[in-house]
Amino acid sequence: MTPDDALLEVRGLRAGYGASVVLDGLSFSMGVESVAVVGRNGMGKTTLCDTLVGFLPPSGGEVRLAGRRLDGLAPETIALAGIAYVPQGRRLFPSLTVDEHLAMLARRTRGRRWTPAAVYELFPRLAERRHHGGADLSGGEQQMLSVGRALLLNAPLVVMDEPSEGLAPTIVDVLVDAVHHLVAEGVAVLVVEQNLRAAVRMADRQLVMVSGRIEAEFTGDELLDRPELQHRYLGVGSTAPAGIATASNHTEGERA
């Protein structure tokens, strides 16, 4: 990937909380494709997402989307500039119904590819639940709504933080299909995953994050067949089945 045709280019990105540095000069670039960022707990994956979308202001480095610098801008500006966010834990609005989650953003979507109707078409299960509260949904439905809500931005890039977290395998299948569907339509997807198997299925390129930097890159399912690499980069024991072992540990460590 040369910088010229990169959709997203991140160079030397630094960020942290107070005195603790979490992102330590992180660089990568991606085009219209799906890319996964994998790594052990506490390596800064969620911080990377939060920094990309402007929830956390970076202390250094550059983020460019289609050449435009976005680092340091407000979250709403970054969202409108073209980075949609599907955050960890989904962060739906408990006071709103499924329909209202989409309706509150509907005005901007007129005449665009992704409208509330298109989201319901992509996830028919949401349509059945349209008058349910955001809190009354199953984990999988919550995730679909979180993805659908992000799609309404009609952004060229969607960042997903731990989309498969805590979901049943059949729901993960739905998400994997959705990711491929998006890429086929020309939307780039950056997905951060603990679950290696899900990461490999969602993205052809996997970037391994260690201590706030991208340390290695793999393609295809190379990582799945190499227990020694998993052990080295992801802390997965060589005897543990790939992808399952890290699926259940999450948030606390990464936010702190």
Partner 1 sequence: MTPALTDAERGFQRSRVTRLRRPPVWVATVVVVAVAAWVLFLADGAPAGAAVDDPGKFLVTVLDGVTFAGLLFVAASGFTLIFGLMRTVNMAHGSLFLLAAYVAIRVQEAMVGRSRNIDPADVGLLDWLVPLLAGAGVAAVLGLAIQQVFLQWNEGQEMRQTLLTLAITVVLADQMLREFGGLAQRVVWPGAVTHFFSIMGERYAVTRLVMLGIAVLVGVLLWLWLNRTSVGMVIRAGVDDRQMVRGLGINIRRVFALTFLVGSFLAGVGGVLGASFAGAAPGTDGSWLLNALVVVIIGGLGSLKGAAAGSLLYGTVVAFSPAYLPSQYSYYAIIMTFGLLALVLAVRPYGLFGRPA
Distance in angstroms (rounded) separating the CA atoms of residues 73 and 199 = 29
Interaction mask 112-151, partner 1, x per CB under 8 A: -----------------------x---x---------xx-
Tell whether residue 74 is a contact of partner 1 (CB under 8 A). yes
Distance CA 84, CA 62 (A): 18
Count of beta carbons in the 10 Å neighbourhood of residue 108: 12
Kindly state whether residue 111 participates in binding partner 1, applying the rule CB under 8 A.
no
Out of 4, 18, 19, 94, the residue judged to bind partner 1 by CB under 8 A: 94
Q: Does 250 bind partner 1 (CB under 8 A)?
A: yes
Question: CA angle at residue 80 from 107 to 34, to 5 degrees?
Answer: 110
C-alpha distance from residue 42 to each of 36, 138, 194, 225, 245 (Å): 17, 27, 11, 24, 16
27 binds partner 1 (CB under 8 A): no
Size of the site for partner 1 (CB under 8 A): 40
The residue (of 206 and 246) whose beta carbon lies closer to partner 1 is 246
- CB of residue 53 to partner 1, shortest distance in Å: 6
Pick the binder of partner 1 from 80, 210, 216, 240 (CB under 8 A).
80
Q: Which is nearer to partner 1, 80 or 240 (CB)?
A: 80
Rounded to a whole number of angstroms, the minimum distance from the CB of residue 246 to partner 1 is: 11
Tell me the closest approach of the beta carbon of residue 1 to partner 1, in angstroms: 26
The correct pick among 6, 53, 176, 224 for binding partner 1 (CB under 8 A) is 53
Residues that bind partner 1 (CB under 8 A): 53-55, 74-76, 79-80, 85, 87, 89-96, 100-101, 103-108, 135, 139, 149-150, 152-153, 165-167, 247-251
